[in-house]
Amino acid sequence: MEAVTHETVCRLLPFQSADGYFQMAADETMLLSAARGIASFRCYVWSEATVSLGYFQPRAVLNSRLWDLPWVRRATGGKTLVHHHELTYALALPASWVGPRLHDWLTRLHANVLLPALKQLGVRAPLSLAQRPNNVEVMLCFEQWSAGDLLCAGRKIAGSAQRKHHGCLLQHGSLLLAKSAHAPDLLGVQDLAGVEIPPKEAAAAVVDLLLQATNWEIKDSPWAEGERSSIQTLRRNKYECPEWNEKR
């Protein structure tokens, strides 16, 4: 990963288990803080199995197996995700850190952080070198992959999505640790490599590799009081609202 030549203090926000409304509001709050020059990284898990729809997806894509799960619409694009046995990460960077090639951060995080973190944990998961032919009928994100996604035994186990705001970057992504009963066709690290990785252990490896791959100073940090307020406001006024979730 290329050295960052600007201010290089990146906050490490607390590892947290919470519902989808909170997690999406927290990710967006990180992006708003990036617009104020604050870089942040965090890893988290979902307190219950939850579906997230990509920004442009209609709710009608959900099949009967997923109807009864709680669901939320992401602010990023892409296809449907079933968040269950996974580790999710979020990175938010100020515009001065990002550079002109926003999309490069997808591969940079996968190649220089997630891939070696998995290797450190005993899992071989190389980068996909090509996109799997697109099928518009495919609903779930992990049923398709693009160049730069991580594959294990020929199956996608990690992917990411982005949102840009005034030149700032929010990138969040999922590392599939094991299959879910709600999406049994999607196999995770445990199923494909026979390696069981607790989410906190995976998070520690990811943070360690992020530190190695950058010249950033990564500091443990709590959410600021204003950010906690922002999360609650976004949760209440956006991510819990039918006007947002059912807009398509």
**Structure confidence by residue, pLDDT tens digits, 46-59:** 999 999 999 988 88
Is residue 2 assigned to a domain? no
Is residue 60 assigned to a domain? yes
Please tell me which residue in 43, 141, 152, 168 is annotated as part of the active site.
141
Is 150 a residue whose pLDDT tops 70?
yes
Is residue 4 assigned to a domain? no
Is residue 3 assigned to a domain? no
What would the pLDDT profile of 15-25 be if each residue is shown by its tens digit? 999 999 999 99
Are the beta carbons of 91 and 26 closer than 8 angstroms? Answer: no
Is residue 191 assigned to a domain? yes
Please give the Cα distance from 7 to 211 (Å, whole number): 15
* Window from 72-76, 134-138, 143-147 with minimum mean pLDDT: 134-138
Is residue 29 assigned to a domain? yes
Query: How many domains are contained in the chain?
Result: 1
Q: Judge whether 141 counts as a catalytic residue.
A: yes
Query: What pairing do the DSSP bridges indicate for beta strands 86-93 and 39-46?
Result: antiparallel
In terms of phi and psi (left: phi > 0; alpha: psi -120 to 50; beta: otherwise), the region of 144 is beta
Q: When comparing pLDDT for 77 and 189, which is higher? A: 189
Is residue 1 assigned to a domain? no
Query: Given pLDDT bands bounded at 50, 70 and 90, which one contains residue 244?
Result: very high
pLDDT at 138: 56
Is residue 141 assigned to a domain? yes
Q: In this structure, what CATH number is given to the domain that contains residue 79?
A: 3.30.930.10
CA distances to 10, 197, 206, 215 from 246, in Å:
35, 35, 34, 42
List the domain range (segments joined by +) for residue 207: 9-245
* pTM for this prediction: 0.92
